[in-house]
Amino acid sequence: MNPDLRRLQPYPFERLAQLQHGVRPQESAITLAIGEPCHQPPDCVRAALVNDLDSLAKYPTTRGLLTLRETIANWLSRRYQLPDNALSPETQILPVTGTREALFAIAQCLIDKHQANPTVIMPNPFYQIYEGATLLAGASPWLLNTTAADGWLPDFDKVPDNVWDDCQLIYLCSPGNPSGEVIAQAHLQALIERAERHDFIIAADECYAEIYRQNGPAPIGLLQAAKAMGNSKFKRCLVFHSLSKRSNLPGLRSGFVAGDAGIIAQFLRYRTYHGCSMPLFHQQASIAAWNDEQHVISNRRAYDEKFTAVSQTLRSFGITVSIPPGGFYLWQRTPIDDVEFARCLFAEENVAVLPGSFLSRENDGVNPGCQQVRMALVQPLDICIEAAERIGRLSKRL
C-alpha cells in the first residue's frame, strides 16, 4: 500500500457527519454546508447533452474536441479582455473532468520528488484537494495562513526565501474558498516574478471566477495579470476553471486548464495515461455552456439577492456581516468555538454549516479557521432567509 495514504486527513464532510452523528434535530433540515449550486442547469446544456447521445459509441480523446478548445479560448479572451488568439486552442488549453481532478492530477504530473525538500505552498484555510494532491505526489505542504487581519488573502512576503527555493508548485484560490476574497493584480504579478526567480509553477484555482457581486468588478485572473506584465506566453502560469459553479453543473464534471504550453504538453502526456478524457456528449454540453452568458448573469443576480437578504436578516439580530466580492459563501465569525457553534446550530435549529477549522490546519500556533463558519448560499432565497433567521435565533441564545 502507498504509505502516503496514511498522511491524508479525513475530508471536512466526513468530520461534519461525525459531528452530527446521533443528533436528532426537531426543525426541518437546511444545509448550507456543501458548495453545491442548487440553481437550475441551463436548458441549452441539457439539449446539447441529449442531442449528442449517439457519441456514446465513440472513445473521446484526452485532448478533447478542437471546437471545445476554441470555444474556451474565445471565452477566456472575452472574460479577461485578452486579445483574440492570445491562447492557442492547440497547445494552451486542455479540457478536464472538473477542477477537482485536475488540481489533484497537476501535482502528480509536476512534482519532482527526487529533488531535495519538494514543497507545495498553499493558503490556509484551503480547498482540501491541494493538500491531498501534495502528499500523494510525495511533497510537503507549506501552509500560508490567511487571517482576518490580512483580509483573508495570502501575504506572499511571509514565505521565507528558502521555502521559495524548495517550492515546485503553489496553489492559489481566487475568489477564495471559503472567504470569497480576490487576489489583486499587483500581488499576482509579484508572484509571477517570484516564480521566475525561484523556478516554480503557479496553479490558480479560479473556479469561482464567475460568481461575483454585480456592483463590483469581475475578479482579475492569473492569465490577465501575466499578459498585462508582458508574459504573453503565460510562462509558469496555469488557470483552472469549471462549469460547476458558473453554470450550476457540478454533475457534468467539466472544466479546463489553460496557460503555459510547455506544462500543458506534459500534462496532456500525463493525462493520456491517467485516463480521464471527457465524454463527447459532455464536451458538446460544455460548448453550449461556455457560449451562453445569460444564465451566468441570472445566476449572479440570484446570489446577490441572497447575500442582500441574508445579511439584512443576520444584521437584524445584531450580527456583523460583510459581503465578499466573490463566491457564494458567507465566511462568518462565530460567537463561540466554531465546532460547538455548528453542533448547536444543527441540534437546535437543524441548519448545517461547515466549521472553519475543518477547512484549515493548525500552523504556527494558530488555526486560522477557528471561530469561523462557512455558509454556502446555494439554497433558494426563502430557505437561505429561513436559515439566517434560525442562525440569528441561536446567536441570541448564546
Ligand X SMILES: Cc1ncc(COP(=O)(O)O)c(C=O)c1O
Among 75, 80, 104, 127, binds ligand X (CB under 6 A): 127
Site map 199..238 versus ligand X, x via CB under 6 A: ------x-x-------------------------------
* CB closer to ligand X, 241 vs 390: 241
Closest to 381 in 3D by CA, of 299, 320, 315:
299
Helix (H, G, I), strand (E, B) or coil at 76: helix
Distances (CA, A) of 222 to 3, 74, 110, 231, 241: 35, 16, 19, 11, 12
Instruction: Kindly indicate which of the ranges 98-106, 138-146, 263-271, 379-387 contains the residues binding ligand X, using the contact rule CB under 6 A.
Output: 98-106
> What are the angstrom distances between the C-alpha of 188 and each of 163, 172, 224, 228?
18, 10, 10, 11
- Closer to ligand X at the Cβ: 98 or 325? 98
Count residues near ligand X (CB under 6 A).
Answer: 13
- Comparing CB distances to ligand X, the nearer of 105 and 139 is 105
Candidate list 16, 19, 32, 35; residue touching ligand X; CB under 6 A: 35
Quick one: which segment of 18-26, 96-104, 149-157, 209-217 binds ligand X (CB under 6 A)? 96-104
The residues near 228 (Cβ < 8 Å, ≥ 6 apart) are 185, 189
Amino acid at 160: P
Q: Is 244 in the site for ligand X (CB under 6 A)?
A: yes
The interface with ligand X within residues 100-119 (CB under 6 A) comprises: 100
Q: Which residues, numbered 171-190, are part of the site for ligand X (CB under 6 A)?
A: 173, 177
Among 365, 342, 370, CA closest to 354: 342
Record the cell numbers describing residue 374, joined without a space. Answer: 462557512
Query: Please, where are the H alpha helices in the chain?
Result: 12-20, 43-51, 66-79, 99-110, 129-136, 161-166, 185-198, 222-228, 243-246, 261-274, 280-291, 294-316, 338-349, 381-397
Name the minimum Å distance from CB 83 to ligand X: 27
When asked if residue 166 is in the footprint of ligand X (CB under 6 A), the reply is no
Binding of residue 124 to ligand X (CB under 6 A): no
Query: Whole-number minimum distance, CB 360 to ligand X, in Å?
Result: 13
**What amino acid occupies position 362?**
E
Stretch 254-283 residues interacting with ligand X (CB under 6 A):
255
CA of 192: how far to CAs of 127, 200, 235, 334, in Å? 22, 9, 9, 36
Region from 212-220, 242-250, 302-310, 311-319 binding ligand X, contact rule CB under 6 A: 242-250
Three-class DSSP category at 27: coil
Vertex 183, ends 101 and 388: CA angle to 5°?
Answer: 80
Binding residues among 301-360 for ligand X as defined by CB under 6 A: none
Q: Rule CB under 6 A: choose which of 64, 95, 98, 132 binds ligand X.
A: 98
Binding characters for ligand X, 47-86, by CB under 6 A (x = yes)? ----------------------------------------
Is the CB of residue 113 less than 8 Å from the CB of residue 84? no
Give the residues lining the site for ligand X (CB under 6 A): 35, 98-100, 127, 173, 177, 205, 207, 242, 244, 250, 255
